[in-house]
Amino acid sequence: MKLWKIILTPLLLATLACNVAADDTGTVSIVGKNKDTSDPKAFGLTLVIANTTWIESEPGNATHFFTTKRGSYVRINNVVSLLDGSKKEVGRLNNIVPDSAKKGDTGNGDAEESGIVFQWEVK
């Protein structure tokens, strides 16, 4: 075996392993619901691990939870801050580490634009 294959193969495998998350695509898919159960609305949120970005969607393209629909995120310990294009925090996910998140993980968070506190689950 050539020396470059011996060196690069473990490096490639380690890189790929770092980009695998809950659904084996390098993304974490989350469904959030208002902590106030009288509000039946929900939203979807996808964290893209490779470039630390997020995308949010709501049925009918609504803005009930978030006005901002995409941006970047930063993680400090087990808290993910969702940032808009100007790096202003528009939301937060508590008790999550995207790189090791798995289906069934749960936590809470808040959508700062709407003031809604929500529960989330990795799908």
Is the confidence at residue 5, as pLDDT, over 50?
no
Side-chain-side CA neighbours of 17 within 13 Å: the count stands at: 6
Cα angle at 109 between 72 and 15, to 5 degrees?
45
Q: What is the DSSP letter of 113?
A: T
Percent of the chain with pLDDT over 90: 80
Query: pTM surpassing 0.85?
Result: no
Q: Nearest Cα to 27, choosing from 8, 46, 41?
A: 46
Q: What is the pLDDT of residue 22?
A: 57
Q: What is the DSSP letter of 99?
A: G
Q: What is the pLDDT of residues 54-93, one digit of tens each?
A: 999 999 999 999 999 999 999 999 999 999 999 999 999 9
The count of other CB atoms within 10 Å of the CB of residue 35 is 13
- Pick 21-122's CATH classification: 2.40.50, 2.40.128, 1.10.3470, 1.10.760: 2.40.128
Mean confidence (pLDDT) of the chain: 86
